[in-house]
Chains A and B, each alone.
Chain A
Amino acid sequence: MVYDFSVVVEKFPIFVPAAIETLKITAASILFGTVIGLLTSFCRLSKLKVFYLPSTLYITVIRGTPILLQLFIVYYGMVGLVRLDPYPSAVIAFGLHNGAYISEIFRGAIKSIDIGQMEAARSLGMTGFQAMRRIILPQAVKRAVPPLGNQFIIATKDSSLASTIAVRELLLKSQQLGSSTFRPMEYLIIAGIYYLIITTALGYLVHRLERRMAVSDRLG
């Protein structure tokens, strides 16, 4: 037998620190990306060019170039200006990357709320800000949950790219152990199982959240 799958079981636990590193990069870039995304979506919805144009440029550039290139630009390209460690580089690059996609998710969700909601809120005398915070956003966030969950799963998988700049996360760990023991497949499978566990758990959490938020839609 070419493969020895007992290695998978035996070495599975030693990947825990790497998995935590993967979770850390993912969580930080999701958090960072959500904040940027929310702000950018407001800019994109603004009628004012000072907000609209830069935010549109940002989204066009991020969505139109490879994420690996973006990571390299932050890690290698910025060297002349500032020297960043691998971990912060990954968080910045992935945060900016996710921010662009999350912004479009929020923008779509906000735009999908019936115009009558804004009108009803304003007709009560609410300011635009109050109407957004109290009436539009709570409904929009609910609609954004499924696509956000999807984006978070993508972000988890994309975090593996950080292995290329020596962040000690799951993929790098499996590559290192794989080449030093001449058993790449076994270690790659271990990494794969960890990714599956993380993304499945994330999918389940999003599903739960979706159901909990659907209370007001439920009929009698």
Chain B
Amino acid sequence: MEVAGLYKSFGELEVLKDISLTVAEGEVVVVIGPSGSGKSTLLRCINFLEKSNAGDVTIDGRLIERKEKTINRMRQEVGMVFQHFNLFPHMTVLGNVIEGPIQVRKMKKQEAVLLSEELLEKVGLLDKKDEYPAMLSGGQKQRVAIARALAMKPKVMLFDEPTSALDPELVGEVLGVMKELAREGMTMVVVTHEMGFAREVADRVIFMDDAKIVEEGPPEEVFNSPQNERTQAFLSQIY
């Protein structure tokens, strides 16, 4: 997956200035940086939930044209997990997971249920399949949201601060599922404040500040010997 020359502004405010980024198959890229640095917007521009003013996104060698149809097809390949889960409250856990395969992939219900049960098993929530999201804890909701995204069999997974809305004791279970995914070779771009996760799982860490990529490299380099002073300042505030 490749992002080239992404530019985005909300009126006067520039949130992405000429961002370019290549993510190899199976790579786990973790994006860190202060709030307002454009991390989330970058993710949202990749699957066009936010329309960038300029720049190209290429996935699996295909340039994504800015046409409704192309974008819809691309989104099937790119899973997204949101900070606030955004589960569909009027559907059961299973209903949430089978929705994409049935409506978008036109999969038979039986087949979708099998696939979804497998995924719910994987995130450890098969026993909750008939419950409604309102009955789940934040960590459980987020794990369902991951299963829902995986049900589309995406090539890339985007995580937009997946643990930021969780109580501290629930963060671990979500990160656990994400680690498992990374181990299985899923291509992932993760925006997070979980530095431990970044250290342990990331192949590459990107530090963003002021709408730009300021520094990038393997986690041990970025964390242990950051070159840029803004990265240094940011990391020293965290530790």
A217 and B134 contact, CB distance less than 8 A? yes
Selected contact of B49 from candidates A122, A130, A135, A139, CB within 8 Å: A122
Stretch at the interface among B15-23, B73-81, B195-203, B211-219: B73-81
B83 to chain A, nearest CB (A): 9
Could you mark each residue 88-130 of chain A with 1 if its beta carbon is under 8 Å from any beta carbon of chain B, else 0? Answer: 0000000000000000000000000010110111111111001
- Contact-residue bracket for chain A: 20 to 34
A130 and B80 contact, CB distance less than 8 A? no
A75 to chain B, nearest CB (A): 42
Known: A215-B132, A217-B134. A122 touches B75 (CB 8 A): yes
* Chain B residues positioned under 8 Å from A219 (CB to CB): 134-135
* Chain B residues positioned under 8 Å from A180 (CB to CB): none
* Chain A residues positioned under 8 Å from B152 (CB to CB): 124-125
Q: Does A54 contact B (CB under 8 A)?
A: no
B135 and A220 contact, CB distance less than 8 A? yes
- Scan residues 129-170 of chain B and give those whose CB is less than 8 A from a CB of chain A: 131-135, 145, 148-149, 152
Nearest B residue to A139, CB-CB: B90
A139 and B103 contact, CB distance less than 8 A? no
Selected contact of A119 from candidates B73, B82, B99, B149, CB within 8 Å: B82
Nearest B residue to A217, CB-CB: B134
A123 and B90 contact, CB distance less than 8 A? no
* Chain A residues positioned under 8 Å from B84 (CB to CB): 114, 116
Selected contact of B86 from candidates A117, A126, A134, A217, CB within 8 Å: A117
Q: Does B192 contact A (CB under 8 A)?
A: no
B75 and A124 contact, CB distance less than 8 A? yes
* Chain B residues positioned under 8 Å from A134 (CB to CB): 99, 103
Selected contact of B99 from candidates A124, A215, A218, CB within 8 Å: A124
Taking Cβ atoms with an 8 Å cutoff, the residues of A that contact B are 114, 116-117, 119-127, 130, 134-135, 138-139, 142, 215-220
9 shortest interchain CB distances as A-B pairs: A120-B86, A125-B76, A116-B86, A124-B100, A123-B80, A125-B75, A216-B132, A125-B104, A138-B90
Can you list 6 A-B pairs, Cβ within 8 angstroms, ordered by A?
A119-B86, A120-B88, A120-B145, A123-B79, A142-B90, A217-B132
Known A-B contacts: A122-B75, A124-B99, A215-B132. Give 5 more (CB < 8 A). Answer: A124-B100, A126-B103, A130-B104, A139-B89, A216-B132
